[in-house]
Structure 1
Amino acid sequence: MQHPNLRGGRSPMLDTTTTLYKLIILYTLGKVNFPMTNSQITNLMLSEDYTRYFQLQEILQNMIDSGLIKTEVHNHTTYYSRTEKGAKTLEYFKGEISPEIRRDISNYLVLHSYEMRSESSCIADYYRSADMDYTVSCSVREGNTTLIEMKLSVPTEKAAQTLAENWKAKSQEVYAAVMKLLV
């Protein structure tokens, strides 16, 4: 079922609902101060009945290809953020998003912003280094500011994977301990 605010009564400025979906994504990315994951965007769009999963994935890929959004991949998670071109596009067509849809998005973000911010701010990735060990890069970001960043060398890929997975659960404790020790 499609969201009631997307049925009929669309502005003649918008050729397709696909264009509206793109504007909704650009609008949402502009309302948060962190990159959103694919699952976060998907959860928003599906929970509000805006579109279906496979159509959304095609739209996201189209937006990447056209330069409206960009991606960053960390530890097998894709993070999406708006480009300058995306921001300008939204500015031009912002009036095409109904007040009801804006309200829906705002309500969704209020309800889910803490877990979304937390999920997007703790990043861990690993790679094989020149000496054949694995380097795990861990960071916590708040908006565009990096609060803590560290790289650790471990002997096996399994250890690197475990460290990267545990970083999300333990990063706040690590940050607090480092601050307590050093300040």
Structure 2
Amino acid sequence: MTTEALTQYKLMILYLLQSVNYPLTNSQLSGFFLDNEYTTYFTLQECISDLVEAALIVSHQSQSTTRYEITEEGKQTLQFFEDEISTIAKEDMNQFLLKNKFRLQNEAAVHTDYSQTENEEYLVQVELRESKNLLCQIKLSVPSEENAKAVCKAWKAKSGKLYAYLLSALLEEK
């Protein structure tokens, strides 16, 4: 793989992350690059790793996914080198973001994670976001990993309804 090609992929990753106001997951980035046959999965992971190491993007890891956001240094780098990205690649990225806007936003809005605690229980953390704004964050202690997975799955399916219910119940005047 040539250095020029790797640089192009890195700039494209920065461009994608700059173009949205929420983190993108590894699978979302992979979806774009692999579906459009820009590069292989392993080359993409190498580029992402290099960008994290250079502090141009930051990663947030959970049990089920890794999310990436562009840093200020990444924004500055992109500003200097954005013209190096081909017009065709920009058009492909803009079409991808436009076509998948609602799916990407919905996937970024709901986040779940869990970890085992010292007393052999599991702490589940669920979040609901709008863009980069945290709307709701709940931490629950559950007795088993099976329960933790069930809470995460339920939150993904019902977070909007649960948030609306919580807000309504908490703001209800008696």
Q: How does 1:134-173 map to 2 (within 5 A)?
A: 134-173=122-161
Aligned counterpart, 2:86: 98
Give deviations 1:21-49, integer Å, cap 9, x for gaps.
Answer: 10000000000111110000000111222
Give 3-state SS (helix, strand or coil) of 1:76's partner: coil
Aligned counterpart, 2:15: 27
Checking the alignment, whether the CA contact within 8 Å between 1:122 and 1:168 is kept in structure 2 is yes
- Structure 1 regions of 5+ residues with no counterpart? 1-13
1:51 equivalent to 2:39? Answer yes
Give 3-state SS (helix, strand or coil) of 1:174's partner: helix
Q: Which residue, 18, 24, 27 being the options, matches 1:36? A: 24
Q: Which residue, 76, 95, 119 being the options, matches 2:64? A: 76
Aligned identity (percent) is 36
Residue 92 of structure 2 aligns to which amino acid in structure 1? D
C-alpha displacement at 1:118, in angstroms? Answer: 1.0
C-alpha displacement at 1:99, in angstroms? Answer: 2.4
Partner Cα distance (1:98, 1:181) in 2: 52
Checking the alignment, whether the CA contact within 8 Å between 1:75 and 1:164 is kept in structure 2 is no
CA RMSD of aligned residues (A): 1.6
Give deviations 1:113-151, integer Å, cap 9, x for gaps.
Answer: 111111122111112234432221111112221011111
Partner Cα distance (1:148, 1:117) in 2: 16
Give 3-state SS (helix, strand or coil) of 1:16's partner: helix
**Aligned length, in residue pairs:** 170
Give deviations 1:54-104, integer Å, cap 9, x for gaps.
Answer: 111111112112222110012321001112221111111011112222121
Aligned counterpart, 1:62: 50
